[in-house]
């Protein structure tokens, strides 16, 4: 839910090295290489020290001397080394730590940890209870790890190389000799702080800096959450780019462009391939830190290298490196550190409907009825804050959403195998007078579970219900308190199937604490709600002239097309604000990160707010949404008797995917945000939050028929599929326009036929961390023209999606990679695309999408898509095989089945599908394992080959062959997937 100020919609948004050696050889810059490292060590939680606010800071990093290595001790797993400040303290933006420790650990053969921390361990580190880090393997990896740690003694620096290619450009390189000469004026002219005055290692209490060289114009992906103007591939400033400043400070802001927003994910994937490389390779880098920070991707003018620079307001430099070498393997290896994604309920893949502004239970019923009458499948209905009494969590409005009415309504949904999800906001309203009663606050106050001011009083913010407090998830009693609130709500009328977590960055309408002197009886919000005369919702997407054509949003009015490319509406994005931010601790640290709101405390908690164990808000701010999801997950697990918790959270951090999915926030009803939704989904595959999608048809502003048609079509092929719009905007349920209803019915039917494929992909995500949605270069890593493609994507390795993303067009140019080795067939017609050109134009009428199956793959589909996911899952199965080119083609696929709701480990069945041959003969066979008993059978198959078909050795009559398409269709097969040995299908 966004915040609106004035009348403008805007979101809140090996051996011992003698110590004397360093002194003797320091001027010579000694280089050493090791191939092993130290045992894992845990750290005590950080407690905020007293900071001298009057100490002057130089604000000049060129004065910082860096560090020298003074001793090192190696082991079969890595090393531990001591660093000492190489000169006088520079006090750039804080107080220098004089002594550091470097721990290098080869945790697996593909994962290397380099942890640089202060010797006193006084800096904040993320508690293991929040993100449970893995231990190293028991293997001795000194001579087998793919990643090699190399270092220079004086000044200390390090670089990471591959054992298999030690002389290639390092994967990470902090040597000043590898970086451009300094000083460098502002690389991005309108952001003065992008000047580069020095590259020494800086480790101060409130400022850390580390820089690594990158290949010129490197292929970098990740580092979010962000709506990047450059697209999925990040702008490093090479070529025609200007560079990027990625700020890590969770913020409630309606999907701004090139600014920080709801989540922080300091991880990136880099892909390397050029004409001189034999094999393409990817690797990954993750900084395990929740610190407020800027991460800069820059290329100084004339430089032969690009660079990445980390500037952090605390924490430690705790890096993980992943060797890949494929993009999907990098993402899988990252999941081993921060946790694999939560198992999704089967029903979660159904179509879901929400609106901010459903008036009462009867309107919810009306939406369900109209969806049913329109034969548009509806799986889940959602409630926004309209549900609440006085906008208070865990309540229902006593008139519009009477608890008994909600119970009846949700029971009706359950009978129809549908589901209900309500919103839960982050803030808890304080009691306003002695006659007021509100159990969530009273119980929380008694249990002492709220965030405090430094003097021990409750920190007061302001959100929808008025003045509020905020749960402190570090409090040992917070879990029990939160579980009881959700449980009581569930048992008194709101039998939810899942929970929607919003405003959890954490968001407030005040700048820091607003409790001192505030009139707590005032429950109004300091802005006009959408639809108020001073805040009308009047904008349509670009091209639509509402003044001329009225408020319908139709594609045509009186036979005239309503789209005019000269018509523009107000944009939503802003450039990074240069040099905005805080100047003092208490208001903010000396270094100002590029927070889009300016002050770090703007529209959120004060940075000196305190949490249990003495944690400072400045250090733990970015963890609030993650911990909100974690606490809610554990509560739902108890309330719903062990069924898989379903949670969608707006704010996220590394590890959030273990507990929740994500929607891409308060987007805009504009064509550019239709396009942005693809890069957002691709980002969150890297972040290990694969269950993600956008507010379909747009949230802020009014949509129109054509935009909504194309968006409903696209979202049917993304993981999380929900339509949601803002208060007082025109309705955008899919039945509003006939063309949108047609598009929705058709594409939801395709989505539901693919549910077994979706479910299998997400089982692999939860088991192995494999991304279900892939950029094209993940599967075709040696085709550089694909490295920036983000207007197409792949579902798994089998399906290529090519949507229409612009108005007034019925064709689209797409990439169809793998020339000479891959055949692409139209999913709907089985027609084969020409494989003589990688880029081709295909016809995609309104309501349709480009969907192609890749040769060499096999997927299982549901034969009869139903109105709900449950009815679809009772349908028999069909098999679609597309053999690879040639007379001896092959194909492979798999199917994962379980009950769709039990928390893993649960009984399952996994079937591998193999095929070989061609039109002159071949066979399909299966390997089945597991204990789950599937209620469905394989009844239909399709492949390429045919004069005779045999099933299980018996001649089969129910088949047809289309020679033009090269397509064999086999009917009524009746193969039971539950046996360990399944019947073979063959043809000749």
Of 68-72, 139-143, 893-897, least confident by mean pLDDT is: 139-143
Q: How many CA atoms lie within 13 A of 620 on its CB side?
A: 26
259, 458, 502, 983: which is the annotated catalytic residue? 502
Asked if 505 is an active-site residue, the reply is yes
Main-chain phi, psi angles of 562, to 5 degrees: -90, -10
Structure tokens that stand for 143 in this block: 């001579």
666, 695, 779, 983: which is the annotated catalytic residue? 666
Give me the pLDDT at residue 255, please: 97
Contact at 8 Å (CB) between 925 and 984? Answer: yes
**Cis, bond preceding 21 (omega within 30 deg of 0):** no
Main-chain phi, psi angles of 896, to 5 degrees: -115, 130
Pairing of strands 172-173, 157-162: antiparallel
Distances (CA, A) of 344 to 147, 290, 352, 657: 34, 27, 15, 11
pLDDT tens for 768-782 read 999 999 999 999 999
Structure tokens that stand for 522 in this block: 């005032």
DSSP assignment string, 749-786:
HHHHHTHHHHHHHHHHHHHH---SEE-HHHH-TT-GGG
**Nearest one of 977, 984, 942, 976 to 959, comparing CA atoms:** 942
Residue for token pair 């993750």: 286
In whole angstroms, what is the distance from residue 9 CA to residue 536 CA?
9
In whole angstroms, what is the distance from residue 936 CA to residue 242 CA?
55
Share of the chain above pLDDT 90, in %: 78
In whole angstroms, what is the distance from residue 471 CA to residue 780 CA?
46
Asked if 448 is an active-site residue, the reply is no
Helix (H, G, I), strand (E, B) or coil at 44: coil
**Band of the pLDDT at 629, cuts 50, 70, 90?**
very high
Give me the pLDDT at residue 988, please: 66
Contact at 8 Å (CB) between 271 and 282? Answer: yes
Give me the pLDDT at residue 473, please: 98
Give me the pLDDT at residue 965, please: 67
Structure tokens that stand for 660 in this block: 């929740």
516, pLDDT greater than 80: no
CA atoms 102, 107, 109, 115: torsion sign: negative
Q: Output the average pLDDT for the chain.
A: 90
Asked if 255 is an active-site residue, the reply is no
785, pLDDT greater than 50: yes
783, pLDDT greater than 90: yes
pTM above 0.85, yes or no: yes
In whole angstroms, what is the distance from residue 970 CA to residue 950 CA?
10
Give me the pLDDT at residue 959, please: 64
| 52-81 mean pLDDT | 88
**Band of the pLDDT at 961, cuts 50, 70, 90?**
low
pLDDT tens for 185-229 read 999 999 999 999 999 999 999 999 999 999 999 999 999 999 999
Residue for token pair 């690389």: 187
**Cis, bond preceding 306 (omega within 30 deg of 0):** no
Pairing of strands 692-693, 661-663: parallel
Distance spanning both ends of the chain, measured CA to CA: 60
283, pLDDT greater than 90: yes
574, pLDDT greater than 70: no
Contact at 8 Å (CB) between 630 and 659? Answer: yes
CA angle 179, 180, 183 (to 5 degrees): 125
Q: How many CA atoms lie within 13 A of 311 on its CB side?
A: 25
As a residue count, the chain comes to 988
| 229-238 mean pLDDT | 97
pLDDT tens for 308-337 read 999 999 999 999 999 999 999 999 999 999
Structure tokens that stand for 36 in this block: 């092993």
**Taking the mean position of all CA atoms in its chain, how far away is CA 409?**
33
Give me the pLDDT at residue 20, please: 27
pLDDT tens for 375-408 read 999 999 999 999 999 999 999 999 999 999 999 9
49, pLDDT greater than 70: no
Contact at 8 Å (CB) between 868 and 752? Answer: no
In whole angstroms, what is the distance from residue 665 CA to residue 254 CA?
7
| 608-636 mean pLDDT | 97
| Exposure class string for 749-784: b at 16+ Cβ within 10 A, else e | bbbbbbbbbbbbbbbbbbbebbbbbbbbbbbbbebe
**Nearest one of 901, 924, 902, 922 to 912, comparing CA atoms:** 924
Residue for token pair 């329109």: 374
Task: Identify the helix (H) or strand (E) that includes residue 742.
Answer: helix 738-753
pLDDT tens for 478-512 read 999 999 999 999 999 999 999 999 999 999 999 99
In whole angstroms, what is the distance from residue 252 CA to residue 461 CA?
14
Give me the pLDDT at residue 142, please: 64
In whole angstroms, what is the distance from residue 535 CA to residue 545 CA?
19
204, 258, 294, 505: which is the annotated catalytic residue? 505
52, pLDDT greater than 60: no
Structure tokens that stand for 890 in this block: 């092959």
Of 119-128, 174-183, 884-893, least confident by mean pLDDT is: 884-893
pLDDT tens for 658-680 read 999 999 999 999 999 999 999 99
Contact at 8 Å (CB) between 476 and 527? Answer: no
């Amino acid at each position: 839910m966004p915040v609106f100020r004035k009348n403008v919609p805007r979101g809140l948004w090996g051996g011992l090295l003698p110590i004397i050696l360093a002194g003797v050889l320091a001027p010579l810059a000694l280089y050493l290489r090791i191939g092993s490292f130290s045992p894992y060590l845990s750290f005590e939680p950080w407690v905020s020290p007293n900071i001298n606010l009057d100490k002057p800071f130089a604000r000049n990093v060129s004065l910082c001397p860096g560090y020298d290595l003074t001793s090192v001790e190696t082991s079969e797993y890595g090393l531990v080394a001591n660093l000492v400040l190489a000169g006088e303290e520079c006090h750039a933006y804080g107080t220098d730590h004089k002594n550091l420790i470097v721990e290098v650990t080869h945790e697996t053969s593909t994962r290397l940890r380099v942890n640089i921390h202060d010797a006193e361990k006084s800096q904040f580190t993320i508690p293991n209870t929040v993100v449970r880090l893995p231990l190293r393997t028991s293997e001795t990896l000194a001579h087998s790890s793919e990643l090699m740690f190399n270092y220079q003694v004086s000044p200390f620096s390090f670089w990471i190389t591959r054992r298999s290619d030690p002389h290639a450009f390092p994967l990470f390189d902090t040597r000043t000799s590898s970086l451009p000469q300094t000083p460098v004026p502002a690389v991005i002219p309108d952001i003065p702080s992008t000047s580069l005055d020095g590259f020494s290692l800086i480790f101060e209490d409130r400022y850390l800096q580390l820089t690594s060289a990158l290949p010129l114009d490197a292929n970098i992906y990740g580092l979010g959450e962000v709506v990047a103007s450059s697209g999925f591939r990040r702008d490093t400033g090479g070529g025609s780019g200007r560079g990027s400043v990625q700020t890590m400070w969770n913020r409630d802001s309606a999907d701004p462009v090139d600014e920080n927003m709801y989540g922080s994910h300091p991880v990136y994937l880099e892909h390397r391939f050029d004409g001189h490389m034999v094999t393409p390779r990817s690797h990954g880098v993750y900084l395990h830190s929740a610190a407020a920070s800027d991460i800069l991707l820059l290329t100084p003018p004339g430089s032969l290298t690009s660079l990445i620079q980390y500037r952090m307001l605390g924490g430690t430099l705790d890096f993980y490196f992943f060797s890949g070498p494929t993009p999907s393997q990098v993402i899988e290896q990252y999941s081993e550190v921060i946790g694999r994604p939560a198992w999704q309920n089967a029903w979660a893949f159904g179509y879901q409907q929400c609106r901010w502004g459903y008036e009462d239970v009867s309107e919810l019923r009306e939406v369900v009825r109209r969806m049913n009458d329109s034969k548009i499948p509806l799986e889940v209905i959602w409630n926004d804050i309209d549900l609440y009494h006085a906008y208070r969590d865990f309540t229902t409005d006593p008139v519009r959403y009477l608890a008994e009415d909600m119970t009846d309504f949700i029971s009706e949904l359950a009978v129809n195998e549908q589901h209900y999800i309500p919103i839960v906001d982050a803030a808890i309203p304080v009691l306003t007078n002695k006659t007021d009663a509100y159990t969530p606050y009273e119980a929380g106050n008694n249990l002492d579970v709220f965030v405090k001011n430094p003097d021990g009083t409750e920190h007061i913010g302001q959100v929808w219900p008025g003045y509020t407090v905020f749960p402190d998830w570090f409090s040992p009693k917070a879990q029990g308190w939160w579980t009881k609130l959700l449980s009581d709500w569930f048992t008194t009328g709101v039998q939810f199937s899942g929970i929607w977590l919003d405003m959890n960055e954490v968001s407030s309408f005040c700048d820091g604490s607003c409790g001192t002197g505030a009139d707590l009886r005032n429950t109004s919000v300091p802005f006009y709600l959408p639809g108020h005369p001073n805040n009308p919702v009047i904008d349509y997407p670009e091209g639509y002239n509402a003044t001329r054509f009225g408020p319908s949003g139709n594609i045509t009015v009186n036979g005239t097309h309503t789209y005019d490319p000269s018509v523009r509406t107000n944009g939503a994005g802003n450039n990074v604000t240069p040099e905005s931010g805080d100047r003092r601790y208490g208001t903010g640290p000396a270094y100002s990160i590029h927070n889009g709101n300016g002050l770090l405390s703007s529209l959120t908690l004060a940075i000196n707010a305190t949490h249990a164990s003495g944690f400072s808000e400045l250090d733990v701010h970015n963890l609030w949404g993650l911990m909100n999801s974690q606490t809610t997950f554990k509560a739902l697990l108890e309330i719903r008797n062990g069924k898989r918790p379903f949670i969608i959270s707006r704010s996220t951090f590394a590890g959030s995917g273990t507990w929740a999915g994500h929607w891409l926030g308060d987007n805009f009803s504009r064509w550019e945000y239709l396009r942005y939704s693809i890069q957002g989904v691709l980002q969150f595959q890297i972040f290990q939050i694969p269950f993600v999608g956008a507010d379909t048809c747009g949230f802020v502003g009014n949509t129109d028929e054509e935009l909504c048609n194309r968006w409903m079509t696209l979202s049917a092929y993304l993981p999380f599929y929900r339509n949601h719009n803002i208060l007082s905007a025109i309705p955008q349920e899919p039945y509003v326009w006939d063309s949108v209803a047609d598009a929705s019915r058709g594409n939801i039917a395709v989505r539901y036929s693919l549910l077994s494929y979706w479910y299998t992909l997400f089982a692999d995500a939860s088991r192995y961390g494999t991304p279900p949605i892939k950029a094209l270069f993940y599967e075709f890593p040696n085709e550089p023209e694909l490295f920036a493609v983000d207007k197409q994507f792949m579902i798994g390795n089998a399906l290529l999606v090519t949507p229409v993303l612009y108005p007034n067009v019925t064709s689209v140019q797409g990439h169809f990679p793998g020339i000479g080795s891959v055949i692409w067939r139209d999913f709907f017609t089985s027609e084969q695309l020409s494989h003589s050109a990688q880029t081709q134009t295909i016809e995609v009428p309104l309501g349709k999408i480009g969907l192609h199956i890749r040769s060499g793959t096999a997927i299982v589909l549901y034969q009869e898509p139903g109105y709900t996911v449950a009815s679809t899952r009772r349908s028999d199965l069909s098999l679609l095989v597309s053999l690879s080119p040639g007379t001896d083609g092959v194909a492979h696929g798999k199917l994962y089945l379980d009950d769709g709701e039990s928390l893993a480990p649960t009984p399952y069945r996994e079937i591998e599908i193999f095929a070989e041959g061609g039109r002159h003969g071949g066979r399909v066979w299966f390997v089945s394992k597991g204990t789950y008993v599937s209620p469905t059978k394989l009844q239909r198959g399709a492949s390429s080959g045919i004069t005779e078909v045999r099933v299980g050795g018996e001649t089969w009559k129910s088949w047809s062959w289309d020679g033009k398409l090269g397509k064999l269709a086999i009917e009524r097969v009746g193969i039971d997937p539950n046996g360990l040995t399944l019947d073979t299908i063959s043809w000749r």
